[in-house]
Amino acid sequence: MNVKLKVENLSKIFEFNGNRVKALENINLEVYENEFLTVMGPSGCGKTTLLRIIAGLDTPTEGRVLLDGREVKGPGADRGVVFQQYTLMPWRTVLKNVTFGLELRGVPKDERIKIAKKFIKMVGLEGFEDAYPYQLSGGMQQRVAIARTLANNPEIVLMDEPFAALDAQTRNILQNELLKIWQKDRKTVFFVTHSIDEAIYLSDRVVVLTARPGRIKEIVEIKLERPRDRTSIEFLEYRKLLLEILKEEVLKTIKRGE
Ligand SMILES: Nc1ncnc2c1ncn2[C@@H]1O[C@H](COP(=O)(O)OP(=O)(O)OP(=O)(O)O)[C@@H](O)[C@H]1O
Decide if 202 is inside a domain: yes
In percent, the amount of the chain with pLDDT more than 90 equals: 82
**Is 5 in contact with 66 (CB distance < 8 Å)?**
yes
- What number is the average pLDDT over the span 155-168? 92
Ligand 1 pocket check for 76: Cβ under 6 Å: no
The answer to whether residue 201 is domain-embedded is yes
Angle of helix 109-122 versus helix 94-104 axis, rounded to 10: 130
Average pLDDT over residues 190-219: 97
Does any domain span residue 141? no
Q: Residue 96: inside a domain, yes or no?
A: no
- The pLDDT of residue 197 is above 90: yes
Name the pLDDT band for 207 (thresholds 50, 70, 90). very high
Examine residue 88 and state whether it is found in any structural domain, yes or no: no
Residue 86 has pLDDT above 80, yes or no: no
CATH assignment at residue 231 = 3.40.50.300
- Domain-embedded: residue 99: no
Q: Are 89 and 100 in contact (CB under 8 A)?
A: yes
User: Quick check: 258 pLDDT over 80?
Assistant: no
Give yes or no for a contact between 115 and 129, defined as CB atoms under 8 angstroms apart.
no
pLDDT in the model for residue 255? 83
Predicted TM-score of the model (pTM): 0.95
**12, 13, 14: residue to mutate for ligand 1 pocket, most atoms within 8 A of CB:** 14
Q: Distance between CA 255 and CA 249 in Å, rounded?
A: 10
**CA end-to-end span of the chain, whole Å?**
39
**Residue 167's pLDDT is what?**
85
The total number of structural domains that make up the chain: 1
Ligand 1 centre to CA of 212 (Å) is 9
Instruction: Give the lowest-confidence range in 24-38, 57-71, 178-192, 232-246.
Output: 178-192
Q: How far is CA 232 from CA 31, 119, 168, in A?
A: 27, 33, 19
Given a cut of 90, whether residue 254 has pLDDT beyond it is: no
Residue pLDDT, tens place only, 124-159:
899 999 999 999 998 899 999 999 998 999 999 999
Q: What is the mean pLDDT of residues 98-114?
A: 95
Burial of 164 (0-12, 13-18, 19+ CB in 10 A): middle
**pLDDT at site 125:** 93
* CB 52 less than 6 A from any atom of ligand 1: no
Q: Is the CB of 61 under 6 A from ligand 1?
A: no
CA distances from 37 to 148, 156, 193 (A): 21, 11, 11
Residue pair 32/1 in contact by the 8 Å Cβ criterion: yes
Does ligand 1 have an atom closer than 6 angstroms to the CB of 49? yes
* Any domain includes 240: yes
Query: Is 122's pLDDT higher than 90?
Result: no
The protein residue with its alpha carbon nearest to ligand 1, atom 12, reads 23
Does residue 108 form part of some domain?
no
Q: Which domain holds residue 234?
A: 3-78+154-255
Atom of ligand 1 nearest to the CA of 192: 22
Contact 209, 47 (CB under 8 A): yes
Indicate whether 174 pLDDT > 90.
no
Residues 17-68 pLDDT 10s = 989 999 999 999 999 999 999 999 999 999 999 999 999 999 999 999 999 9
Position 239 scores a pLDDT of 98
112 CB less than 6 Å from ligand 1? no
pLDDT at 87: 84
CA distance 63 to 56: 13
ipTM of the complex: 0.98
Going by pLDDT thresholds of 50, 70 and 90, the confidence category of residue 166 is: confident
